[in-house]
Structure 1
């Protein structure tokens, strides 16, 4: 990564080579993912058409950790674009409470996101859905053709599997290119009439990785002990993921929080002190932007936070707010903004990890957390063993 000032061999030596490469490769992975989805299009249309004929169709987006946040980031656009009921429910919630969360007589499309597909909850959630639902279909978006989830659903009636390019199966601990590629794939699978300009977002992400605006180096070297990510609508899910990336790659040494800008006022703002960096993912939507800029001005006026950084695709209204305006995104949708915004957060987390002497490819010093979750026992559903 250019902003770290480290050559590739030094990144390798410091345990960050895979993470750095996987952040930088994202624009190429987005192009490859778009091509893959276009090739799948006839199969997707045949699979989805009978489902979308149900006006009472329920679409449930599921995954664990980062994979759950993919769903959260997609819900607002899918609600508007599909005119169907759409919810994000984590696999970890479905495993514990599927009987409460699933409605037997409501036709349901379960959209599962999984980098490896080997987390115990991944397959269990699909099986629990089949246990409780009279009509259940599966759309699987995964990066691993050897994973248990892929093997369970590939070629199976009632399931459609989108296997993403092998390089998206990140080798680093933290999900980076896997997250953004699965998010892009699901968006293009379910909202085919809403194109994503992969050339534009790729160019913006490349500029972010090269620290075109200088905000990465300044933030990563600022010594902040707390970070707050703020985002509205679909960008709220991106804020969730950004906070998790920082927690993961710094092994919990930097405390991170995600909130919506308006929700931040309702208590969570007490988190802020002089060692806090507040990062706002600013919307291009005019209405959302009004509210977000009000909050940004309030934070700047308080003078409590160590620094406020506003990442933006449009330049108006940013005076005095310490903004990093990302070039070429003036007309971008919030969905398109999410990709370079998250690239910034990934690169920042990598920089802080290295600055703290951590090894980003495997940051857990105690081994308490693993790349693929371990130690989960799946118990039979009561009365359904």
Structure 2
């Protein structure tokens, strides 16, 4: 069935930003459809996953490259809690380069969960092949946007594999991964979290608020300051969100704006030297009461060090944060951080989009000379000895 792409919730985009703007704005609607897809495949999906999850020794490896790798980092703690199994996020780039280190136990039953927008990146197919070569028992859950990608085609008829497809519009046509990331993340959380990830049901409504006029004005106020570097900070799964946010800014500005990501505690250990008076800081504040204390500490410290308004908290609730410098995520006050990350990453996507436009870059194609590509090129996968 062919589905007509939905229009963006954002205002009409300037030339060179139509795809990216639409793909950021369409996310709440696609998330609802992604949840429906997981539910519609429930019987078949459960039949595939239940025997695997019944084994207490099962290791679940969440993998992908770049943004897709960060999806695994966001999801891993919540899925470990939901499944009661060992869950680790390991990038395909690490698997391909150091496969023996990533799969040290040949007899350990493993479910490899592969995130892939196109499924055509060389590391995507290489990682699944290496897992099978080094493991006696390996099953695959493929979460991808492209039914015709190499990864989906290689696995869709296999009994040891399940291909979970996002809505087709999630295969972003813009350079950077936006709706592809969030739909794949939501799909994995829904499929493996089995409804145990608190707050997941409210993410679409929260993101709709983030995409509203008032929130977009807040983003424009920050990105209109002429800042030339950004820092993103977060703890636990929100550190992976910080990494994704920094990558999105680098990508959409074509490298014109520097970006750094770290944990709230780790930032003081050297990376703090990155700060200048023209640095913007975004702190993703955890909902975990203990972890949150460290996020609040670094937010207060950096707010005192930088010009007023250049340090922003993104949070599900205020609780110790100044309202004037906090971007609230409605409905996320009690959400687990993996769910909180979904509307929070929309904030980061908007920052990247607005900064790109402020610097005169075309976000749909920030590298017109082809120096960096939408689907990675130039990778030689060497045979394993």
TM-score, structure 1 as length reference: 0.93
What residue is the counterpart of 1:261 in the other structure? 264
Partners of 1:338 and 1:299 lie apart in 2 by 22
Deviation at 1:199, TM superposition (A): 6.1
For the structure 1 residues 185 and 298, does the alpha-carbon distance in structure 2 shift closer, same or farther, using more than 3 Å as the test?
Answer: same
What residue is the counterpart of 1:35 in the other structure? 36
Q: Is the 8 A contact 2:309 2:325 kept in 1?
A: no
Higher mean alpha-carbon deviation, 174-183 vs 305-314, is at 305-314
What residue is the counterpart of 1:131 in the other structure? 133
Alignment of 1:44-193 (within 5 A): 44-102=45-103, 103-193=105-195
Partners of 2:366 and 2:230 lie apart in 1 by 18
Which one of 289, 299, 304 corresponds to residue 301 of structure 1?
Answer: 304
Deviation at 1:323, TM superposition (A): 1.7
For structure 1, the 5+ residue unaligned runs are: none
Partners of 1:305 and 1:264 lie apart in 2 by 20
Number of residue pairs aligned between Structure 1 and Structure 2: 376
Which one of 345, 348, 359 corresponds to residue 345 of structure 1?
Answer: 348
SS of 1:212's partner is helix
Q: What's the C-alpha RMSD, in Å, of the aligned pairs?
A: 1.8
SS of 1:68's partner is helix
Q: Is the 8 A contact 1:37 1:189 kept in 2?
A: yes
Deviation at 1:76, TM superposition (A): 1.2
For structure 2, the 5+ residue unaligned runs are: 1-7
Alignment of 1:287-326 (within 5 A): 287-303=290-306, 307-319=310-322, 322-326=325-329
2:195 maps to 1:205: no
Partners of 2:198 and 2:192 lie apart in 1 by 13
Q: Is the 8 A contact 2:199 2:332 kept in 1?
A: no
Partners of 1:197 and 1:79 lie apart in 2 by 16
What residue is the counterpart of 1:249 in the other structure? 252
Deviation at 1:52, TM superposition (A): 1.6
Partners of 1:44 and 1:36 lie apart in 2 by 11
Partners of 1:158 and 1:332 lie apart in 2 by 33
SS of 2:283's partner is strand
